[in-house]
A and B are shown apart, each in its own frame.
Chain A
Amino acid sequence: QGQLVESGGGVVQPGESLRLSCAASGFTLRNYGMHWVRQAPGKGLEWVAFIRSDGSDKYYADSVKGRFTISRDNSKNTLSLQMNSLRPEDTAVYYCAGLAPYNYWGQGSLVTVSS
């Protein structure tokens, strides 16, 4: 059974940057398009970004476009999310995920943006 493990979350001030990483084990990440999904405290799920299996295409939610960058290193079986110009409304648990028809989810990494 494949597993995803996120890292890099933490507390930052508005305007600062943070980089999330997601390491895959038990399956070959290069075979899958991958997503980042976030969930603000007590709220629903928000789709954030997607990258194709070979990195050729990337898509972003309007709320993060121009500030966040999704990337991957298939040689290292890892996915990343570079988050710049962070805002308080970016506070959330961030999941890396292989969404439907696949079902791969990390445990989530909490990002808190607060002054």
Chain B
Amino acid sequence: EIVLTQSPATLSLSPGERATLSCRASQSVSSYLAWYQQKPGQAPSLLIYDASNRATGIPARFSGSGSGTDFTLTISSLEPEDFAVYFCQQRSNWPHSFGQGTKLEIK
């Protein structure tokens, strides 16, 4: 089973700052890595698929990069609505697995 490790667990930043979230896989997942955002009381929603492709309607301030085992989600300039929990997920191997999440909180 592929284990995804996200860091940091919590990231405290202010609106307007740049956020960098990391996801590391225990073995290569090629580019089959997605990022989801979850706000309290809501279902998750897709931000990035296949490492670097923004999902429909996702603002350009969100970008994804990486391949193999190391991936990054970058939010270039934080908006108030971006403070949420972010999960990475791989679809390279069964079972498809999620990382444990990074909570992005307002500093």
Seen from chain A, the residues whose Cβ lies within 8 Å of a Cβ on chain B are 35, 37, 44-47, 50, 59-62, 95, 97, 99-103, 105-108
A49: nearest residue on chain B (CB-CB)? B95
Q: State in angstroms the CA–CA spacing of A81 and B42 once bound together.
A: 21
Given contacts A44-B100, A44-B101, A50-B94, 13 further A-B contacts (CB under 8 A): A35-B96, A37-B44, A44-B98, A45-B36, A46-B98, A59-B94, A62-B95, A100-B55, A100-B91, A101-B49, A101-B53, A103-B56, A108-B43
Residue B83, interface by CB 8 Å = no
A105 touches B53 (CB 8 A): no
Min CB–CB distance A52 → chain B (angstroms): 12
Q: Which residues of B contact A59 (CB under 8 A)?
A: 94-96
B residues contacting the other copy or chain, number (CB 8 A) = 24
Q: Which residues of A contact B91 (CB under 8 A)?
A: 99-100
B38: nearest residue on chain A (CB-CB)? A45
Min CB–CB distance A55 → chain B (angstroms): 16
A45 touches B87 (CB 8 A): yes
Among candidates A46, A95, A103, A108, residue contacting B55 with C-beta atoms closer than 8 Å: A103
Q: Which residues of A contact B99 (CB under 8 A)?
A: 44
Q: B-side binding surface: helix, strand, loop or mixed? A: loop
B56 touches A45 (CB 8 A): no
Seen from chain B, the residues whose Cβ lies within 8 Å of a Cβ on chain A are 1, 34, 36, 38, 43-46, 49-50, 53, 55-56, 87, 89, 91, 94-101
Q: Which residues of A contact B53 (CB under 8 A)?
A: 101
Min CB–CB distance B104 → chain A (angstroms): 14
Top 5 closest A-B pairs, CB basis? A100-B34, A103-B46, A105-B43, A100-B49, A101-B49
Q: Which residues of B contact A95 (CB under 8 A)?
A: 43-44
A103 touches B95 (CB 8 A): no
Q: Which residues of A contact B56 (CB under 8 A)?
A: 103
Min CB–CB distance A109 → chain B (angstroms): 11
A101 touches B95 (CB 8 A): no
B49 touches A45 (CB 8 A): no
B34 touches A44 (CB 8 A): no
